[in-house]
Structure 1
Amino acid sequence: MYVPDEWEVPREKMTMCRELGQGSFGMVYEGIAKCVVKGDMETQVAIKTVNESASMRERIEFLNEASVMKEFNCHHVVRLLGVVSQGQPTLVIMELMTRGDLKSYLRSLRPDAENNPGQPPPTLKKMTQMAGEIADGMSYLNANKFVHRDLAARNCMVAEDYTVKIGDFGMTRDIYETDYYRKGGKGLLPVRWMSPESLKDGVFTTNSDVWSFGVVLWEIATLAEQPYQGMSNEQVLRFVMEGGLLERQESCPDSLFELMRLSWQYNPKMRPSFTEIIQSIKVDLEPCFKEVAYFYSEECKSRDQEEFDMETENMESVPLDPSSMLQHAASAADKHSGHKVENGPGIVLRGSFDERQPYTHMNGGRKNEKVLPLPQSTAC
């Protein structure tokens, strides 16, 4: 059952203007909504619909996926604005991201792209800005006990002012169906963005989201090339589980690749948290970032202090040399608390995930429940 709440919007306040593309459940439109944003008479929005042929169960699933986003209030996460659950078709109203998903936007910046907007490829400063914005959205989700499980350029969105935000999850799942792989008859898995522990054991944590973030950085640096180009999905599975990593491209700046490398530590507890990633690059971010970012909010500061107080008694150095990692892994695996160690200027490595903490996944579920399976898809 879906019970209408304060997010319900009268259907007569919605006007659909043009198609934006196909979503997981149905067509997505650009439209105009009246009085859905405080202080605005009319707001340009994205309107998600459900196919007319959808069953009641699919309509409820559609609304429940949207309901997860009711808990989010972060500048770098795409906002849910309202729901029309009464009558047909069922509608979900989202913040409009006029420049589309990040993967398509990056590909449009290739010199030979037919839809090139006349812009050069992103500079290091712009790539770093994208990284900071994505990390800020993910830091917010992590702080609210949400695990994304499908972080990729296709699932980030680009606003009119080029701000990058964590996208409306599930919206591009079927559009980019070739980015997913059906393993053993189960749901579709984004194997090229998955960490070794996720591939091996089906474990998804904020640390595995950090691994995926590293792959997103690689996508940004390569203008959205396919990760592990030339390898089959099965080959990628084996390669990553055995410790293989994406290669550095010649055009990739040193600082960006270093951030990727840190995100791809084989031991999940050795990866930096999203907050630590922002800490390491904050001096290179635009001044406006400080005005809107969760990282600089009072909520973030108070939460960081609470975590620091809890961890102070359990600090321990973590070896950064891969050759010594195996010796450390045995003892690290037995500890639930995180560890801190300096790794050059501005970078702090810490395992921020406590396996006993209940987490919610972006693509379904509620807080305080166990790990949920990835959603099924109609794509083959």
Structure 2
Amino acid sequence: IFICLFILAFQPNLYICVCVCVCVCVCCITGVCRYPLGMSGGQILDEDISASSQWSESTAARYGRLDFEEGDGAWCPEITVEPDNLKEFLQIDLRSLHFITLVGTQGRHAGGIGNEFAQMYKIKYSRDGSRWISWKNRQGKQVIEGNRNAYDIVLKDLDPPIIARFVRFMPVTDHSMNVCMRVELYGCEWLDGLVSYNAPAGEQMNSPSYPIYLNDSVYDGAVIYRCGLGQLTDGVCGLDDFTHSHVWPGYDYVGWNNESFPSGYVEIMFEFDRTRNFTTMKVHCNNMFSQHVKAFRQVVCYFRSDLDWEASPLSFSPVVDEKNPSARFVTVNLANHMASAIKCHFYFADAWMLFSEITFQSGIDQRTHICMCAAVYLLENIADDPTHKVDDSNTRILIGCLVAIIFILVAIIVIILWRQVWQKMLEKASRRMLDDELTASLSIQSETFTYNHNPNQSGTTSEQESNSTYERIFPLGPDYQEPSRLICKLPEFAQSSEDPGSYSVPYFQDGVPHYAEADIVNLQGVTGSNTYAIPAVTMDLLSGKDVAVEEFPRKLLTFKEKLGEGQFGEVHLCEAEGMQEFMNKEFLFDIAEDLPVLVAVKMLRSDANKNARNDFLKEIKIMSRLKDPNIIRLLAVCIYSDPLCMITEYMENGDLNQFLSRHEPEGQLAQLSNAPTVSFNNLCYMATQIASGMKYLSSLNFVHRDLATRNCLVGKKYTIKIADFGMSRNLYSGDYYRIQGRAVLPIRWMSWESILLGKFTTASDMWAFGVTLWEILNYCKEQPYSQLTDEQVIENTGEFFRDQKRQIYLPQPVLCPDSLYKVMLCCWRRNTKERPSFQEIHQALLEIQP
């Protein structure tokens, strides 16, 4: 931007297109299209907001901004809205095409004076201002549930999303009533450039069990001209098995049979907003060849830049894959063709061809391309042109500024490299000091147990490193301040010390200091994935007690499979014979005594160092104290000889993530596909058990730090027990984010204060419980924030930190009632003190559970 300003100051006519190009490239990095488009923020101007009518000047369209109380507090139409009257609307002009994924509505509160709101509404949209299209969801429903009072903001996902410039909100009622509205649109600018596509209607595939409809069910083009957008641009990629869908079999795909096309190909025409320089086209194809479905054999594309089609088309043939049935993106190189329209012939490779998404990547358009070429040409020749004397002084200034900027950039790079080297030196020095002094002292009186997850940090790693802030790792924008400076401004982290320089960012919960304030003993888990941080005095008290579990004969363990491994050991799934004889009477198995019991065995490696060995023995002492029906129990140990082992429960149905991903909700689709089902009642029952187990841990001031469905095991009759070794499994490596090759963190489950400030408390466990509940109600079919990259997840925590109402929440699952989604939102409150306790959550779930 600074370079653009320098150039524009001296050569505005010549370089403006270069700066526009740079700005466009920056704006292309939109992240996730769920950002407010400007009703509440003021980016949408008053003249771009209009309405069919208004009650008075103080309730005009410009007052229909979400969360604003200006005027009389909202837009209100002139007349009472009738059930069959859809003439009243609030219209927004976005000035350009936008990809809109979410809408928000609010009534007229006016500081307690107003009480008008829209209980229901419809949305119409247009790309050109002349042809209006009624939005409908994937089930064909047009009416959207609105507000139940005049003050709460209700957000609704648009599924499918819409691509439009003009949007109208149209209040709907089932009886005559006064309505007022405040609204907001969420999304991002539509930079793909595609304004319509024209494709043959999708066809029906007849299977032995049920018909599979492969039509474009959300296509918004006119019936006659077929000029619109639909499922090929809705951002949803189909599953590997096209017979599965959240709506009906085949829903996510548009498909054609080769018998209907004697020419052997399907023609699809794409129209764009302007002439563009196309680099690639990505086509998401199904390749389930067992059902005679394959990706296209060849595609031939024709390009039109003005009025005529180019004579020589482009041909591309992908490699036909008959081994992997997975759906995939096929990338077609468009060789930088300039065009405003593209017509492609997709040739069949088998009986059927199924597409779910088609996107285009374009470089600089023609005019900008010419402008940049001219700029480069003049930049290269201006210094050598002796006739160019007019702006000679400006040229010298420009060159001097550019040289100065280069020097500044070099200096910044040097500082960054020096800082990284210095940090590594400090870390090495810290590790050496801790190696020499393993005994920690405690300066507080209270006993605080902390069962936490802090991967890949050995028992000799300091708590200061474990709770290190992320100010040097995650840049969150130009207005972002380092947490160590900003933390003093946050109410929940108010500083009690008079000396700002000595502030150590303690976290207080119910008057009990967090363990980070005191010297602690770190216990490295055998799998390398968890660290038990226990106050030193408490650890001394535990060490004085005998282990409450017995030695188990190794010969009675039969290896089944490796569940995972870590830095210091491995976790094996084994069968234990005669385990019932070694258990206390309080622990009962529902398995006959002569049958083996399924157990998980944590085994310390023979090459583990002395510190890891001591931590392993201390971990046994702590685990033996945990006794709750919903917490995995330590059953026995093998410590009389190497390798050291601890034997814990293992549930026959494995972890909750894999269990739910293999099941479907009860309904017609599950019956058609013969898939196993789990009822909503059982989902609530499992979530209630997790809350009960966490209530027990929180009562001991244990902080889990990695609560997720992968760390919950499932037994008979949907029994749930919380475990801790999910991260050691390669199956879930994608759920963890590695920071500078050091820490590995489950950022998609972590609260904002855990990611940015390194603070793990019962309140942060509550945040993770909300995400776990979201997983359960989605049947673990989707990773949290699946539409975000890891970096964007971290950036989103910065929005929680700044609290400017731009943060993204996980959407309400399809099967989730409003009451249960409110429980999730309570778990994700920004202020840690406002989040409920696990006792409150457990009671709330008991009341919700049918």
TM norm structure 1:
0.67
User: What does the per-residue CA deviation read over 1:12-37, in whole Å, with 9 as the maximum and x for residues that have no partner?
Assistant: 57321522622442141231243222
| Aligned partner of residue 597 in structure 2, secondary structure | strand
2:693 and 2:722 in contact (8 A); partners too: yes
For the pair 1:21 / 2:21, whether they are aligned, the reply is: no
Aligned equivalents of 1:51, 1:172: Cα separation in 2: 17
Aligned equivalents of 2:553, 2:621: Cα separation in 1: 18
Deviates most, 92-101 or 183-192:
183-192
User: What does the per-residue CA deviation read over 1:224-281, in whole Å, with 9 as the maximum and x for residues that have no partner?
Assistant: 1111113121110111231321122333332321211111111111111110011112
- CA 1:56–1:50 in 2, change beyond 3 Å: closer, same or farther? farther
Aligned equivalents of 1:191, 1:220: Cα separation in 2: 18
For the pair 1:32 / 2:609, whether they are aligned, the reply is: no
Q: Which has the larger helix fraction?
A: 1
- CA 1:104–1:64 in 2, change beyond 3 Å: closer, same or farther? farther
1:37 and 1:81 in contact (8 A); partners too: yes
Aligned-residue offset at 1:184: 3.8
For the pair 1:44 / 2:597, whether they are aligned, the reply is: yes
Aligned equivalents of 1:67, 1:54: Cα separation in 2: 22
For the pair 1:230 / 2:787, whether they are aligned, the reply is: yes
1:23 and 1:172 in contact (8 A); partners too: no
- CA 1:72–1:153 in 2, change beyond 3 Å: closer, same or farther? same
Match of 2:689 among 133, 138, 151: 133
- Which of structures 1 and 2 has the larger relative contact order (alpha carbons within 8 angstroms, sep 6+)? 1
Aligned-residue offset at 1:178: 1.5
Report how many residues are paired: 282
- CA 1:54–1:97 in 2, change beyond 3 Å: closer, same or farther? farther
- CA 1:12–1:192 in 2, change beyond 3 Å: closer, same or farther? closer
- CA 1:8–1:31 in 2, change beyond 3 Å: closer, same or farther? same
1:33 and 1:45 in contact (8 A); partners too: no
Q: Which position in structure 1 is the counterpart of 2:725?
A: 170
Q: Which position in structure 1 is the counterpart of 2:738?
A: 182
Q: Which position in structure 2 is the counterpart of 1:70?
A: 624
Amino acid in structure 1 at the alignment position of 2:725: G
Aligned equivalents of 1:190, 1:117: Cα separation in 2: 34
Amino acid in structure 2 at the alignment position of 1:26: E
Aligned equivalents of 1:55, 1:85: Cα separation in 2: 14
Aligned equivalents of 1:117, 1:199: Cα separation in 2: 42
Amino acid in structure 2 at the alignment position of 1:230: Q
Aligned equivalents of 1:126, 1:186: Cα separation in 2: 39
| Aligned partner of residue 742 in structure 2, secondary structure | coil
User: What does the per-residue CA deviation read over 1:91-134, in whole Å, with 9 as the maximum and x for residues that have no partner?
Assistant: 21112211111111111114899xx99421x3321221111100
Q: Which has the larger strand fraction?
A: 2
Aligned equivalents of 1:227, 1:242: Cα separation in 2: 17
Aligned equivalents of 1:173, 1:201: Cα separation in 2: 25
Amino acid in structure 1 at the alignment position of 2:754: S
Q: Which position in structure 2 is the counterpart of 1:206?
A: 762
Please list, as runs of the form range in 1=range in 2, the aligned pairs for 1:102-117 lying within 5 A after superposition.
102-110=656-664
Aligned equivalents of 1:252, 1:259: Cα separation in 2: 11
For the pair 1:272 / 2:836, whether they are aligned, the reply is: yes
Aligned-residue offset at 1:164: 1.2
Aligned equivalents of 2:554, 2:744: Cα separation in 1: 37
Amino acid in structure 1 at the alignment position of 2:558: M
2:630 and 2:693 in contact (8 A); partners too: yes
- CA 1:49–1:275 in 2, change beyond 3 Å: closer, same or farther? closer
| Aligned partner of residue 28 in structure 1, secondary structure | strand
Aligned equivalents of 1:19, 1:252: Cα separation in 2: 36
1:129 and 1:284 in contact (8 A); partners too: no
User: What does the per-residue CA deviation read over 1:210-232, in whole Å, with 9 as the maximum and x for residues that have no partner?
Assistant: 00000001111112111111312
Aligned equivalents of 2:727, 2:735: Cα separation in 1: 10
Amino acid in structure 2 at the alignment position of 1:166: I
Amino acid in structure 2 at the alignment position of 1:170: F
Aligned equivalents of 1:171, 1:59: Cα separation in 2: 22
- CA 1:174–1:32 in 2, change beyond 3 Å: closer, same or farther? closer
- CA 1:64–1:101 in 2, change beyond 3 Å: closer, same or farther? farther
Aligned equivalents of 1:230, 1:96: Cα separation in 2: 33
For the pair 1:219 / 2:775, whether they are aligned, the reply is: yes
For the pair 1:55 / 2:599, whether they are aligned, the reply is: no
Amino acid in structure 2 at the alignment position of 1:238: E
Aligned equivalents of 2:700, 2:555: Cα separation in 1: 32
User: What does the per-residue CA deviation read over 1:153-200, in whole Å, with 9 as the maximum and x for residues that have no partner?
Assistant: 111111123211111x13433431221112244321110000011111
Aligned equivalents of 1:249, 1:109: Cα separation in 2: 16
Please list, as runs of the form range in 1=range in 2, the aligned pairs for 1:287-366 lying within 5 A after superposition.
none
Aligned equivalents of 2:689, 2:676: Cα separation in 1: 20
Greater gyration radius = 2
1:81 and 1:95 in contact (8 A); partners too: yes
- CA 1:56–1:214 in 2, change beyond 3 Å: closer, same or farther? same
1:8 and 1:85 in contact (8 A); partners too: no
- CA 1:143–1:53 in 2, change beyond 3 Å: closer, same or farther? same
RMSD between aligned residues: 2.9
Aligned equivalents of 1:143, 1:94: Cα separation in 2: 22
User: What does the per-residue CA deviation read over 1:294-324, in whole Å, with 9 as the maximum and x for residues that have no partner?
Assistant: xxxxxxxxxxxxxxxxxxxxxxxxxxxxxxx
Aligned equivalents of 1:52, 1:194: Cα separation in 2: 30
Unpaired segments ≥5 residues, structure 1: 287-380
2:658 and 2:710 in contact (8 A); partners too: yes
Aligned equivalents of 1:80, 1:133: Cα separation in 2: 19
For the pair 1:86 / 2:632, whether they are aligned, the reply is: no
For the pair 1:240 / 2:240, whether they are aligned, the reply is: no
2:627 and 2:633 in contact (8 A); partners too: yes
2:598 and 2:652 in contact (8 A); partners too: no
Aligned equivalents of 1:26, 1:271: Cα separation in 2: 36
Aligned equivalents of 2:629, 2:762: Cα separation in 1: 20
| Aligned partner of residue 237 in structure 1, secondary structure | helix
Q: Which position in structure 1 is the counterpart of 2:391?
A: none
Unpaired segments ≥5 residues, structure 2: 1-437, 439-522, 524-542, 801-806
